[in-house]
Amino acid sequence: MEKIRTGKVIKVNANMVTAELSGQIIQNEVAYIICGQERLKAEVIRVHQNQAEMQVYESTQGLRAGDVVEFSNELLSVELGPGLLGQIFDGLQNPLPALAKKCGFFLKRGVYLEALPDETQWEFTPLVKAQDKVLAGSWLGFVPEKIFKHYVMAPFGLNGTLEVVSIAPPGKYNLKQAVAQLKDSSGKLHEVFLQQIWPVKIPIRAYAEKLRPSEPLVTKMRLIDSLFPVNRGGTYCTPGPFGAGKTVLQQLVSRHAEVDIVIIAACGERAGEVVETLRTFPELIDPRTQKPLMDRTVIICNTSSMPVAARESSVYTAVTIAEYYRQMGLNVLLLADSTSRWAQAMREMSGRLEEIPGEEAFPAYLESRIASFYERAGVVKLRSGETGSVTIGGAVSPAGGNFEEPVTQATLKVVGAFHGLSRERSDARRYPAIDPLISWSKYSGFVKPEYKERYHSILNRGNEIAQMMKVIGEEGTSLADYTEYLKSDFFDFVYLQQNAFDAVDEATSKERQIYLLEFIFAILEAEYNLEDKTAALHFFQTLRQLMRTWNSAEYNSPEFKKIGSQITALLESKKNKKDK
Amino acid sequence: MQKAYTNIIQIAGDVITVEAEGVGYSEIAQITTRSGVSLAQVIRIDAQKVSLQVFAGTRGIATGDKVRFLGFPMRVATGENLLGRIFNGSGLPLDHGPALSDNLVDIGAPSVNPAKRIIPNKMIRTGIPMIDVFNSLVESQKLPVFSIAGEPYNELLARIAIQAEVDIIIVGGMGLKYDDYLFFKETLNSHGALSRCVFFMHTAADPTVECLLVPDISLAVAEDFALKGKRVLVLLTDMTNFADSLKEISITMEQVPSNRGYPGDLYSQLAARYEKAVDFEGAGSITILSATTMPGDDVTHPVPDNTGYITEGQFYLKSGVIEPFGSLSRLKQQVNGKTRSDHRAIMDTMIQLFASYRETLEKQSMGFQMSAWDEKLLKYGALFEKNMMSLKVNISLEKALDLGWQILADCFSPEETGIKLSIIEKFWPKNNGKD
């Protein structure tokens, strides 16, 4: 045990505190500032001679020059183990419900609780035996957590081949009881517990290889899955001005996405939105597992009025937990809302450090930080041969809704899909407000490429005609062009738009999407006998209304079939016939 | 313990730096000058050098003046005694009543644990169709009114305050014109609401730093009432002045500005205030309505832009009406499913059609021929603007929905609206628009 090193506060500038100490200082180590009865957590972010500049994860009210600082020798870390699922943590992995029990309505500073409850007994089943050879990250046994087998793994930080010296027999253990003992090549013994500690800013690399994301991730949002798909292990971003529906979109994806585990990082956003998730998820049933959605969810929440430095750490806490579950061969989706707030937290600190500012006063290392965060996504082949994935979806809140700003640009460079939300679409109440004309995806998805191309060209053509009509007017547009425009608008209306507040329409299964796409494709390819523009408009409006009603009908239900035949009848009445 | 220091080594803007020891961050100090006593707050400590922002401004402060640190952060009196009273940004009375010092609470207390919040679910009815039907206001919502300087935003705030069913109204004025202050006072008084109001007033002539305190002090008082089970409405006008004061202080402190001179933490600063809006589990609530003036009607200006990302929507006031585009209540979905089954259909359809109307207007102004559909839209748009949008309209939500159906029926056939058949069957007016 090393002697605790202490220093003294010499400067306080909002959440940046400088301490002076003799002896070594470790970059990024955690320190505690003693302020009366309270211990305030801080992280060293810059060292200058014998001075450590620290960002404090709490309000610094009442700190004085001369206050004692204790340095911990450890980097900022999280506890990984059974009991994470269904929890709500702040950016430093403090469990918020337990904190509420202890402190009441307000977040009292300086109170840090164990992330995982110690006393819980877990039913452990060993998977290895003494003398077995294992590697870091190997599954040594498992405990049941919700519906998953939560694997107990050899500590990720160990090197080389390890020998199992002893392994606990099946039975109940708590987090602080050792379940195995491993010996590394140098003969040193390591105890293994149900939980392990890992520094948040370092990616977990205990896997065989990283693979290319190839399996589509079904989000049940038609616009995303069909036109701008995301693959498991991929990355995507959703930038958009305020009020364009980023959060509603993320909430829908968090509910319906076909993954094992969803980690929600509410980073510097409204508390109200988190509350909605944490109050509704325990009641919503996941249709795939018949269990509450909360059972597959972890919420990391550092809302906008909570201390800004912890906002910076919250995305790292979230991604570390995501990687941990990936190591068990699970597919994890991490939704971060919003990465701009995270970037702003870096900007605030950078300003206080008086670093030379880059564009819009963001620090020069903004791009590399964003890139290394998204690089923690991926599909990996574990050493056991299984695969697991972390998919990252980040919301971006560009200042003024302008995508040219530094955070959006830095993000676009590193993600695999871009779902750009536009003010025009949200003003016209076309939700989801992802603009199909500017968005892109590098992933394949499940829709045939020729379909995708065709639909893109229909939308582009529709937009061209719409622009043209603005100049030459409707009367100057030919009936053929006008019909093309109506078709594109029709496709947008009945397929791309999705009603988030309709129990059926809010999520469309893969099968239904494929069925609908083929159905609509036939509608768009057909020629109709429409005598003039008024008749054309009327025809598509009627069709649109029927399709909308269809969208709210359960797939393959009697009602669905009834409306389906109505639509077919209407189409037949106008198709390939002479004038009435 | 309360030692006084007399060596002020720097005075710049509203910030002084004094050499002192053992001073806590954000602690309050008293400065005795020849013109009286002023309060100041510690905003930076650099070893022995302590910087303070002086609430009353630094004019007339001498380098030898006495600075006495009080050892606690800024506090404000709370409770029933405040009702009907008027204070300045430092909490000193502006009316002729006594200064208060009971039930002192710290201002800028820590944030509420998200796990202790509940989902807002009570609609606040205002009698304004553009709010009730299209962007319902919900208890515990935080919502700014975006407008340019000349718009009647204070009138709108006052009207909502009078009609809303809340227990306590707290008005925080920042950089307010004296007339506006009198307007609030008289309007609330003439509706008998003054006895449940508390005013914290900073007028344009008052020192900048006091402006910074107004939201904190208003919200600290509101929080105390809410914890005692009261439903509190806080009006903050105008938050752009608050942001400008932040800018002034941060530039004085030589911070690197991020966007148009505003400090990099503008978002966090605004959020710390707006996030005080809350519905407490088992206690009262705080609803925040604010005015944010947009310089040059530019919604991408840093103040409205950052505000929009924090608040739960915004009312966009333009040419004396609440614009349907740009206005948004993020919490409306929490309440408008429980009012009447046609509420959402009317809300969505009328706005979509109004968007088409705007396009048609554009076409018309360019001299294009109007189709039959365009004519219908023109008729619809005119009716909508006259009967729904005008702020003169003051009707209940149910009446407004009925009116909506009537307008639709007057202009369109059912299938042209695109509304689901089940709702059409139930609500489409039977006289088919011929009344």
Residue A518 half-sphere exposure toward CB, CA atoms < 13 A: 7
- Selected residues 46-75 of chain B with any CB under 8 Å from a CB in chain A: 46-48, 73
Q: Is B110 on the interface with A (CB under 8 A)?
A: yes
On whether both A540 and A459 belong to a single domain, the answer is: yes
B225-246: average pLDDT:
95
**3-state DSSP of A267-327:** ECCCHHHHHHHHHHCCCCECCCCCCEHHHHEEEEEECCCCCHHHHHHHHHHHHHHHHHHHC
Distance from CA of A133 to the nearest CA of B (A): 45
What 3-state DSSP class applies to B180?
A: helix
For residue A579, being part of any structural domain is answered with no
A271 to B275: CB separation less than 8 angstroms, yes or no:
yes
Is A203 contained in some domain? Answer: no
Find, in chain B, the residue whose alpha carbon is nearest to that of A311: B268
Residue pLDDT tens, chain A, 580 long:
456 789 999 999 989 999 999 889 999 999 999 998 999 999 999 999 999 999 999 999 999 999 999 999 999 999 999 999 999 999 999 999 999 999 999 999 989 999 998 889 999 999 999 999 999 999 999 999 999 999 999 999 999 999 999 999 999 999 989 999 999 999 999 999 999 999 999 999 999 999 999 999 999 999 999 999 999 999 999 999 988 888 889 999 999 999 999 999 999 888 888 888 888 898 988 888 889 999 999 999 999 988 888 998 999 999 999 999 999 999 999 999 989 999 999 998 998 888 998 888 899 999 999 999 999 999 999 999 999 999 999 999 998 889 999 999 999 999 999 999 998 898 878 889 999 999 999 999 999 999 999 999 999 999 999 999 888 888 889 999 999 999 999 999 999 999 988 889 999 999 999 999 999 999 999 989 888 998 999 999 999 989 999 999 999 999 999 999 999 999 998 876 544 3
Q: Do residues A331 and A213 share a domain?
A: yes
Q: Chain A contact for B308, CB < 8 A?
A: yes
Is the same domain home to A424 and A535?
no
Q: What is the pLDDT of residues B34-52, one digit of tens each?
A: 888 889 999 999 999 999 9
| Interface residue B296 vs chain A (CB under 8 A) | no
Pairs across A and B, CB distance < 8 A: 220
CB of B83 closer than 8 Å to CB of B195 = yes
Is A400 close to B265, i.e. CB distance below 8 A?
Answer: no
Q: Are residues A19 and A142 in the same domain?
A: no
- Domain containing residue A346: 87-112+208-441
A287 lies in the same domain as A435: yes
- A288 and A407 assigned to the same domain: yes
Total count of domains within chain A:
4
Q: Is residue A236 in some structural domain?
A: yes
A225 and A370 co-located in one domain: yes
Domain termination site, one of A48, A75, A102: A75
Q: Is B297 on the interface with A (CB under 8 A)?
A: no
Residue A182: inside a domain, yes or no?
yes
Query: Would an 8 Å CB–CB cutoff place B269 in contact with chain A?
Result: no
Q: pLDDT tens for residues B307-320?
A: 998 999 999 999 99
In a domain? residue A437: yes
CB nearest A473 (choices: B271, B314, B368) = B368
pLDDT recorded at residue A497: 94
Same domain, A100 and A131: no
* Residues comprising chain B, all counted: 435
- Which pair of tokens denotes residue B355? 């968007």
Pick the CATH number of B4-73 from 2.40.10.170, 3.30.160.270, 3.40.50.300, 3.40.50.2300: 2.40.10.170
CATH 3.40.50.12240 maps onto chain B at 80-335
pLDDT of residue A577: 52
Taking contacts as CB-CB distances below 8 angstroms, the residues of chain B near A305 are 111, 268, 271-272, 275-276
**In this structure, is residue A484 part of a structural domain?**
yes
Contact by Cβ (8 Å): A249, A210: no
Whole-number Å distance between alpha carbons of A97 and A94:
9
Query: Are residues A467 and A353 both part of a single domain?
Result: no
Interface test with A, best of B249, B255, B268 (most A CBs within 10 A): B268
Q: Which run of H or E residues covers position A558?
A: helix A558-574
Torsion of CA A396, B266, A242, A268, to 10 degrees: 50
- pLDDT recorded at residue B434: 45
Domain stop point among A194, A222, A251:
A194
Residue A415: name the closest of A477, A446, A370 by CA: A370
CATH class assigned to B80-335: alpha beta
Give the mean model confidence (pLDDT) for residues B340-368: 91
Name which of B23, B258, B263 is nearest A64 (Cβ-Cβ): B23
Cis peptide, bond prior to residue A436, ω within 30 of zero: no
Q: Cβ of B27 under 8 Å from any chain A Cβ?
A: yes
Which of B44, B115, B362 is closest, CB to CB, to A278?
B115
Query: Scanning the structure block, which residue is given the tokens 């599909």?
Result: A379
Decide: A440 and A224 in contact? Cβ < 8 Å: no
pLDDT of residue A186: 93
**Same domain, yes or no: A472 and A414:** no
Range(s) of chain B covered by CATH 2.40.10.170? 4-73
Q: Minimum mean pLDDT among A145-149, B3-7, B214-218: which range? A: B3-7
pLDDT tens digits for B9-30? 999 989 999 999 999 999 999 9
CATH of the domain at A461: 1.10.1140.10
Angle in degrees, 0-180, between the axes of helices A533-551 and A558-574, rounded to the nearest 10: 170
User: Between chains, do B115 and A427 touch, taking CB under 8 Å as contact?
Assistant: no
pLDDT on residue A442: 95
CATH code of the domain covering residue A67: 2.40.10.170
The reply to whether A458 and A415 lie within a common domain is: no
Taking all residues of chain B, what is their mean pLDDT, rounded to a whole number?
Answer: 91
- Rounded to two decimals, the ipTM of the complex is 0.86
User: Residue B433: pLDDT above 60?
Assistant: no
The CATH code of the domain that includes A179 is: 2.40.50.100
A32 Cβ contact partners less than 8 Å away, ≥ 6 residues apart: A39, A40, A41, A42, A69, A70, A72
Residue A133 lies in a domain: yes
pLDDT for B404 equals 96
The contacts of residue A1 (CB under 8 Å, 6+ apart) are: none
What is the spatial distance between Cα A155 and Cα A524, in angstroms, rounded to a whole number? 57
Say what the pLDDT of residue A576 is. 62
A249: in domain: yes
Q: Is the dihedral of CA A12, A13, A16, A21 positive or negative?
A: negative
Let me know whether A250 and A376 are in one domain: yes
Which CATH number covers residue A320?
Answer: 3.40.50.300
Which residues, in sequence order, are CB contacts of A232 under 8 Å at separation 6+? A213, A215, A216, A217, A259, A331, A379, A389, A391
